């Protein structure tokens, strides 16, 4: 028994002092190898009487397990120390571009999203988000478009199969606008509300100015005493900051949207300017009634319909508000001179290199939201 305890103490001490994996492997062979001291003790069990084996067997096996556990623990400690040393010695920043490789860029849509968030944050708006897979109650019914409403035909909707049913019994779909976020926010938070809801939306349409997936930002203000003048001022302030021009002129035209009443289309004045290639390009600014100018339809807006307020859990006699929606991709095309929406999603590195932004081009109102480093 004294020999076993002495051997265990010697093994534990030497294993704990092993400085590297090679020294530890040598100790493993010395103690647990075929000719090792612990293995030698195990071989003596066959020569013992049953009584001796019953007494000495558990002690020898316990010794072997203790040595094996010490070897495992020391090996793990040495490997962890080696890894820590290697990581401390390496200075490679994997977030930086690889040497000699072309650098990536921020997509114009992402850049414009950041610009919009910066502008509206300065106006006191919060950013709200919602699911892209939506049910038709939030996407249509709560926005005053029941199943029989003709306005549903205005949306080329991607529906899921009948085996995917909504909690309220309707159909699941890819949202056609970010307006459901407005309903979800009013139901969750009540009033007053001042939010923008940017995000991806989906409609079955594709040409030079439409894609099946595009980006939209909608704004919602709900408070007491809100009127159409507040809407016009908000849109003017937003567009002047976004396009970085003080001569932005808006024209409001009566229109129809089921979720707003009254509803207005917003036109913005533009002028035709010749670019470096000699081709004329629409540049926003000035009245559309001046010679050489025109009006461009930019976004839809209006005062939130009473029925939408009711279905969102608000009393329309107490709360009023306005809402507006505009395509983010279209804003990017107007501001940065792009003429084909499909190129936004082609993944052409040359296009991205030309129109993309550096990661250091952070939009700020003080430097101008479109300023490039």
**CA atoms of 111 and 328, how far apart (whole Å):** 10
**Single pTM value for the model:** 0.66
Alpha-carbon distance values, 166 to 26, 133, 169, 358 (Å): 66, 10, 5, 42
Task: With cut-offs at 50, 70 and 90, classify the pLDDT of residue 19.
Answer: confident
Q: What is the pLDDT of residue 209?
A: 59
Instruction: Choose among 201, 270, 206, 195: nearest CA to 234.
Output: 195
**Mean pLDDT along residues 330-348:** 82
**Mean pLDDT along residues 28-50:** 83
* Residue 45 scores a pLDDT above 90: no
Q: What is the pLDDT of residue 169?
A: 64
Q: What is the pLDDT of residue 321?
A: 95
Phi, psi (rounded to 5 degrees) for 344: -60, -30
**CA atoms of 40 and 346, how far apart (whole Å):** 72
* Residue 78 scores a pLDDT above 70: yes
Q: What is the pLDDT of residue 41?
A: 81
**Mean pLDDT along residues 51-62:** 82
Q: Between 228-243 and 328-336, two packed helices, what is the crossing angle to 10 degrees?
A: 40
Q: Which CATH superfamily is domain 108-236+303-355 in?
A: Bira Bifunctional Protein; Domain 2 (3.30.930.10)
**Mean pLDDT along residues 18-44:** 85
The number of C-alpha atoms within 13 Å of 220 and in the hemisphere containing its C-beta is: 30
Task: With cut-offs at 50, 70 and 90, classify the pLDDT of residue 229.
Answer: very high
Of 104 and 320, more confident = 320
* Residue 37 scores a pLDDT above 80: yes
Task: Characterize the bridge pairing of strands 126-127 and 193-202.
Answer: parallel
> pLDDT tens digits for 102-113?
677 888 888 889
* Residue 31 scores a pLDDT above 80: yes
Alpha-carbon distance values, 34 to 31, 39, 53, 58, 72 (Å): 9, 6, 21, 20, 18
DSSP state of 304: E
Q: Percent of the chain having pLDDT more than 90? A: 29
Task: With cut-offs at 50, 70 and 90, classify the pLDDT of residue 325.
Answer: very high
* Residue 204 scores a pLDDT above 50: yes
**Mean pLDDT along residues 85-103:** 73
> pLDDT tens digits for 166-202?
776 678 888 989 999 999 999 999 989 999 999 999 9
Q: Which residues pair with 194 in a beta bridge?
A: 221
- Residue 155 burial (CB count, 10 A): 19
* Residue 373 scores a pLDDT above 50: no
> Residue 66 burial by CB count (10 A; 0-12/13-18/19+): exposed, middle or buried?
middle
Q: Between 21-32 and 2-17, two packed helices, what is the crossing angle to 10 degrees?
A: 160
- Residue 96 burial (CB count, 10 A): 8
Convert 124-136 to b/e letters by CB count within 10 Å (16 or more is b): ebebbebeeebbb
């Amino acid at each position: 028994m004294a020999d076993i305890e002495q051997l265990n103490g010697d093994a534990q001490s030497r294993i704990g002092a092993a400085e590297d994996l090679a020294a530890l492997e040598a100790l493993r062979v010395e103690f647990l190898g075929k000719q090792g001291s612990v293995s030698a003790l195990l071989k003596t069990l066959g020569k013992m009487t049953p009584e001796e084996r019953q007494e000495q067997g558990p002690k020898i096996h316990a010794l072997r397990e203790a040595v094996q556990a010490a070897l495992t623990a020391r090996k793990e400690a040495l490997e962890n120390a080696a890894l820590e040393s290697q990581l401390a010695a390496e200075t490679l920043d994997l977030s930086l571009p690889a040497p000699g490789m072309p650098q990536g860029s921020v997509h114009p849509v992402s850049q414009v999203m950041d610009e919009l968030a910066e502008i509206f944050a300065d106006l006191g708006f919060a950013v709200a988000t919602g699911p892209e897979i939506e049910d038709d109650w939030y996407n249509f019914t709560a926005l005053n478009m029941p199943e029989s409403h003709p306005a549903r035909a205005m949306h080329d909707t991607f529906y899921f199969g009948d085996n995917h049913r909504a909690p309220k019994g309707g159909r699941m779909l890819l949202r056609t606008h970010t307006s459901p976020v407005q309903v979800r926010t009013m139901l969750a938070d009540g009033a007053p509300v001042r939010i923008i809801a940017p995000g991806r939306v989906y409609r079955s349409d594709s040409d030079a100015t439409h894609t099946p997936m595009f980006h939209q930002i909608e704004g919602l203000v709900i408070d007491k005493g809100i009127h159409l003048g507040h809407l016009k001022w908000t849109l003017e302030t937003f567009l002047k900051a976004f396009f970085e021009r003080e001569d932005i002129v808006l024209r409001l035209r009566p229109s129809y949207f089921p979720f707003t009443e009254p509803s207005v289309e917003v036109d913005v004045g533009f002028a035709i300017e010749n670019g470096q290639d000699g081709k004329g390009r629409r540049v926003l600014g000035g009245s559309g009634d001046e010679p050489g100018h025109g009006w461009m339809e930019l976004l839809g807006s209006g005062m939130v319909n009473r029925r939408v307020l009711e279905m969102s859990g608000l009393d329309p006699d107490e709360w009023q508000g306005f809402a507006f929606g505009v395509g983010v991709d279209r804003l990017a095309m107007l501001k940065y001179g792009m003429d084909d929406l499909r190129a936004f999603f082609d993944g052409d590195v040359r296009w991205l290199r030309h129109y993309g932004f550096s990661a250091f081009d952070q939009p700020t109102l003080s430097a101008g939201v479109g300023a490039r480093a």
